[in-house]
Chain A
Amino acid sequence: MKFNVIGYLISEGFKNVMKNKKSTFSCLGVMCATMLMFGIFFAIAQNINHIVKIVESEQGMQVFVDVNMPEEQIVQVEETLRNIQVNGTNAINKIRRVSKQEAYDTVKEQLKDHPDAMEAVEVEMFKVSFVINLTDLSYTHDVVSQAEQIDGVVKVTNSENTITTLMSLANGIKMFTLVILTVLIIVSLFIISNTIKLSVHARRKEISIMKYVGATNNFIRAPFAVEGIVIGIASGVISILIICLGYNALANKFLSSSIAQKIQTISLLSFGEMVNLIIIVYILLGVGIGIIGSAISMRKYLDV
């Protein structure tokens, strides 16, 4: 019995969707735009976070010592670096020495297309350095200043600047997404409640008969809520497909582009790594906007 009633209400909801094709379509359009907008910025923000992590783990910090430093002193510097502490805890996770030869080879490799550029360069001209991996990135600043104090250390490089730039970029995108999303959600709510309003208007005769026959308010409302939810979920599904195809195409293009080729350590998240979150958000957005939108218009136009 229950199943029969639910089936009836759902089929009435689908009838509404089909009856008002025009407003249903414009509604789908706006909701898809909302979701796509969210999807695009979400994907960008996620990837920036991802790149930040790569930069954090791969670039690390590099401490250069004086070119003419004798081996015994180099070992001492390495030991001092290894024991740097911040707030009483070990700040150094890993430390690796980069020899003169290794530094020379790296540059040679980078300039392999211009062999003549290496002619005047000798191995002895390179500084020995240490690549340091921190136990926590928030120690960066303290470790840099401590390392600079060590006798014989001439230069300390770190990716702090890159990371803060990326982080603030990610935060900016998040804020921007939030604002755009809020505006679009309001527009979607307006559009969907307008669609439901048209639908209520088209069925006003039926609704008045339902009232006389003794239909409960919820029974009268259910098909309109179904209509809202159907439009919401449909927008979600369409948006997922567009985002999936679009993302994969763009990600491949970006990875094969010259910029990405130069920064070899860069990789992008695959769509599969983000898809779960996007689907959940889309379903919540779709169902939420659908229910709230139809509730708004029923409150206004369905005086039961």
Chain B
Amino acid sequence: MKKAVILGAGTAGTMMSNHLAKKLPKDEWEIVVVDQEKTHYYQPGFLFLPFDIYQPEDVVKPIDDFLPSRAKRIMQKIDRVEPESNTVTLQNGDMIGYDILIIATGSHIAPKEVTGMMSDAWHKDVFDFYTYAGACALREKFMNWEGGKLVIHITEMPIKCPVAPLEFAFLADAFFTEKGMRDKVDITFVTPLSGAFTKPVASDKLAYLLKDKNIRIVADFAIESVNNETRTIHDYGGKEVAYDLLVTVPTNMGDSMVERSGFGDDLNFIPTDKCTLQSKVADNIFVIGDATDLPASKAGSVAHFEADVLTENIIRFINGEPMTYEFDGHSNCFIETGHGKALLIDFNYTHEPVEGSFPLGSFGPLKLLKESRMNHMGKLAFRWVYWNMLLKGTPIPFVPATMSEAGKHLEMSKHD
């Protein structure tokens, strides 16, 4: 028996296990899935927990419910991969050999990267919402918070779901407005980039949003430290922003297993061919989802598009054929703008976010780069699609892996 081993049973690993279960002959291939957790978290739901739009139980389900029955599941922490001997070592010392390895260990927050961020004030005045614990703690805090300076902050790029912090700011504006206390909450958005929207089409079309919602922006802010006594954050250039409640997105890093294996970059992301998804570490190691160093967004939708491409490529690799399927960086995401509306954006490696409609050309019900109620419904429906279709690898109707150009005003993207 040959062995396909999948490391991580989050969004990408679960999808790959289901794809490969359908494609790899049962009598020739064993599929092994390793993850340290019992629970699969619907991470996009973390955004809605603090605002009481979702309840904690909406975002958790057992990992095992989504894996194919033929997969052998191991619940252990992965210690490291040794490409020279094609083995994975687990924390309990067990070793697993593989013919094909798929790494899908994702990325997570590393608050210790910034001086003072991790302190007694963590989950008291300084919060993240990128973890289940952080989102739940913030939910508690918001229930009784009396207002003050709310600072929403991005530490450094890349982060997963790069629009989530901005959505958080929009939802906070709506939440405190609906509670009748918006006048008591001063919202500031702090980013290391040169603005909230940095792609030219988006900044043209969306600049009004922050202004309308009375959200102050501090751009080009490269954080050096958090001082939880003076309640200020400081940047390397000498700028300072005061907070009463800091909601930060800490540095995002790949798992330390990558570092122990000795093949990650300075953020533990794995060097990966951006078209084929083959790792640059060894021919029989492939990488998918947030664990890669691809210049694409780290998002579940991206992992979904990658899974289609990677499945075909792995089959071709096994058959000794050239890998012709190429990932184009296709990414789309809903952006909650508050008060029951959302935007939708769609882009890839070469095209900027465009205007138009999605996914059915000019018949598409979802408007790109325009706020609408339909888009908001689309975002909420994504949870159902995620649990019921995406993880199982069921094709989502009308949504191809590579970016469709129908119905989009692509000329809009030729900005230079």
Partners in one complex: no
